[in-house]
C-alpha cells in the first residue's frame, strides 16, 4: 500500500507517465484531480509530457475534489485558478469537461447534490488523485467526517486554515468554508492514488499507517478500498516501519 520513491520528482514522473498511458488507452477517462503544492510537480511533468507528445484530450473529463466557498474562480487562491494555471490552460481543457465545485453559487446545497450527480452521470471516477492534510484530511474532509458522505459544505478546521494560510497575505483572508467531494464519492473511484511528500508529512503518514479505519483519521477510509496506492518520498516515509514499505527505484 505504501510505495516509497527517492524524491517528489520521481513520484511526479512515475505518475505522469502512468496517467499519460491511461489517457492514451482510454481517451474517455474520468479523472479526479486534487490541488495543493504536492500536485504541482506532477501537473508540471504531465503538462510537459503532453506538450512533447500530444494526445487527443477532447473526450477527457475531470472533476476536482474541492473549492473554497466565497472565492470566485478569478481569485488567485481559488482552486479554479490553480487548476487553470497548472493544468487546464496548458492542456487546453474547457470548462465543459474540467469541473470544479462552484464556491460562489447562490444555492450551495443544490450545487453539492448536482456535483456528486454529475460524477455519477459521467460514469464515476476512473482514477482519483489525492493529497493529504497534516490532520489526515482528504479533499477537505476534516476529521470526523462520516465515511458515507457525498459532496458537502465543510467548515475548515483551524489546523487546515493555518496550513493553507501560507498562500494568503493575511490569516483572516483564509476562507472558513469549502465545498468538498465526500469520502463516499472518493471511495467510489475505481482507482485511488494518494501522494504525500516532504518531512512535514512524515507524522501524518505514520498516523495513517497506524490508524484503524476510523473517522478521526479521514484518510484511513482508503484502507477499505480495493485499489489504493499511497506514493510517498523518503522524507514522508521516515516514521513508518521500514519492513512495511515497498521501494520504487527506477
Does position 101 interact with ligand GLP (CB under 6 A)? The reply is no
Kindly tell me which of 55 and 239 has the beta carbon lying closer to ligand GLP.
239
DSSP labels, 59-119: T-EEEESEEETT--TTSTTSHHHHHIIIIIHHHT--TTTEE---TT-S-HHHHHHHHHHHH
Task: Tell me which residue of 150, 144, 140 sits closest to 184, measured CA to CA.
Answer: 150
For ligand GLP, which residue of 4, 65, 69, 236 counts as binding (CB under 6 A)?
65
CB of 213 to ligand GLP, least distance (A): 19
Does position 37 interact with ligand GLP (CB under 6 A)? The reply is yes
Distance CA 6, CA 12 (A): 11
- Cell, residue 44: 508540471
CB atoms within 10 A of CB 143: 17
Clarify whether 137 is annotated catalytic: yes
Does position 103 interact with ligand GLP (CB under 6 A)? The reply is no
Does position 176 interact with ligand GLP (CB under 6 A)? The reply is no
Q: Which of 86, 137, 164, 188 is catalytic?
A: 137
For ligand GLP, which residue of 164, 189, 232, 236 counts as binding (CB under 6 A)?
164
- Percent of the chain as helix, strand, coil, to the nearest 5: 40, 20, 40
- # residues near ligand GLP by CB under 6 A: 14
Kindly tell me which of 51 and 85 has the beta carbon lying closer to ligand GLP.
85
Does position 231 interact with ligand GLP (CB under 6 A)? The reply is no
Does position 182 interact with ligand GLP (CB under 6 A)? The reply is no
- Cell, residue 117: 450527480
The answer to whether the Cα torsion of 68, 34, 190, 230 is positive or negative is negative
Task: Tell me which residue of 149, 130, 123 sits closest to 29, measured CA to CA.
Answer: 123
CB of 9 to ligand GLP, least distance (A): 15
CB of 93 to ligand GLP, least distance (A): 19
- In this structure, what DSSP letter does residue 141 have? B
CB of 68 to ligand GLP, least distance (A): 9
Clarify whether 142 is annotated catalytic: yes
For ligand GLP, which residue of 15, 30, 34, 91 counts as binding (CB under 6 A)?
34
Clarify whether 191 is annotated catalytic: no
- In this structure, what DSSP letter does residue 122 have? T
Does position 202 interact with ligand GLP (CB under 6 A)? The reply is no
Q: Which of 135, 141, 164, 188 is catalytic?
A: 135
Distance CA 174, CA 75 (A): 12
Does position 185 interact with ligand GLP (CB under 6 A)? The reply is no
- Cell, residue 88: 487546464
Binding site for ligand GLP (CB under 6 A): 34-38, 65-66, 131-133, 139-140, 160, 164
Report the catalytic residues. Answer: 66, 135, 137, 142
Amino acid at each position: 500500500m505504501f510505495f516509497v520513491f527517492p524524491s517528489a520528482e520521481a513520484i511526479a514522473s512515475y505518475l505522469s507517465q502512468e496517467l499519460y498511458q491511461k489517457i492514451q488507452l482510454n481517451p474517455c477517462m474520468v479523472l479526479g484531480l486534487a490541488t495543493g503544492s504536492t500536485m504541482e510537480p506532477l501537473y508540471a511533468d504531465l503538462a510537459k509530457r503532453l506538450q512533447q507528445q500530444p494526445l487527443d484530450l477532447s473526450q477527457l473529463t475531470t472533476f476536482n475534489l474541492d473549492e473554497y466557498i466565497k472565492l470566485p474562480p478569478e481569485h488567485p487562491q481559488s482552486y479554479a485558478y490553480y487548476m487553470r494555471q497548472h493544468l487546464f490552460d496548458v492542456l487546453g481543457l474547457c470548462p465543459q469537461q474540467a469541473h470544479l465545485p462552484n464556491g460562489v453559487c447562490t444555492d450551495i446545497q443544490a450545487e453539492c447534490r448536482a456535483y456528486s450527480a454529475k460524477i455519477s452521470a459521467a460514469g464515476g471516477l476512473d482514477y482519483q488523485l489525492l493529497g493529504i492534510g497534516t490532520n489526515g484530511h482528504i479533499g477537505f474532509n476534516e476529521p470526523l467526517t462520516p465515511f458515507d458522505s457525498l459532496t458537502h459544505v465543510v467548515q475548515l478546521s483551524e489546523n487546515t486554515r493555518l496550513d493553507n494560510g501560507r498562500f494568503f497575505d493575511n490569516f483572516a483572508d483564509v476562507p472558513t468554508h469549502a465545498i468538498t467531494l465526500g469520502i463516499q464519492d472518493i471511495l467510489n473511484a475505481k482507482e485511488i492514488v494518494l501522494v504525500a511528500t516532504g518531512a512535514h508529512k512524515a507524522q501524518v503518514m505514520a498516523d495513517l499507517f497506524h490508524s484503524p479505519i476510523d473517522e478521526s483519521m479521514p484518510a484511513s477510509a482508503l484502507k477499505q478500498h480495493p485499489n489504493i496506492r499511497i506514493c510517498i518520498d523518503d522524507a514522508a516515509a521516515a516514521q513508518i516501519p521500514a519492513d512495511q514499505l515497498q521501494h520504487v527505484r527506477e
